[in-house]
Amino acid sequence: MYGRIVVGTDGSETAGLAVKKAVEIASATGSELTILSVGPRDKALATAEAAARRHDGSGVSIATRWREGDPAKALLAQAEEDGAGLLVVGSKGMTGARHVMGSVPNSVSHHAPCHLLIVHTT
């Protein structure tokens, strides 16, 4: 249905909920999944790989990626590069000062090159 799904993680509990939902959707639709983390290479890759290991045995084909820079821009670039049919992010930052000043889910909602799922994480 989606072909490829991209989800971001920073290793937090709320990001873990978004990854879990992305794995569930990938499993149900036969889609491949890319888990992306942003930051210095070694740390970001370790974060993405740890998230992938939590879902070993799910039957989902999971790739891990890392990028540097702004997390929202990195997610958008990965979704574009992968030709993703779905981008999944957590809702963290959708309320309060972060919402006004900018948050990952708010930023990607305006520029997503594909369907977007904002997972309720509170």
Note the pLDDT tens digit of each residue in 42-68: 999 999 999 999 999 999 999 999 999
The CATH number fitting domain 4-119, selected from 3.40.50.620, 3.30.479.10, 3.60.10.10, 3.40.50.10490: 3.40.50.620
**Residue 93, by phi and psi: left (phi above 0), alpha (psi -120 to 50) or beta?**
left
Q: Does residue 38 register a pLDDT over 60?
A: yes
CA 60 distance to own-chain centroid: 15
Task: Report the chain's mean pLDDT, rounded to a whole number.
Answer: 92
Q: What percentage of the chain carries pLDDT values higher than 70?
A: 92
Confidence band, pLDDT 50/70/90 cuts, at residue 122: confident
Angle between the N-to-C axes of helices 104-111 and 71-82, in degrees from 0 to 180, rounded to the nearest 10? 40
Q: Which helix (H) or strand (E) holds 64?
A: strand 62-67
Domain boundaries in the chain? 4-119
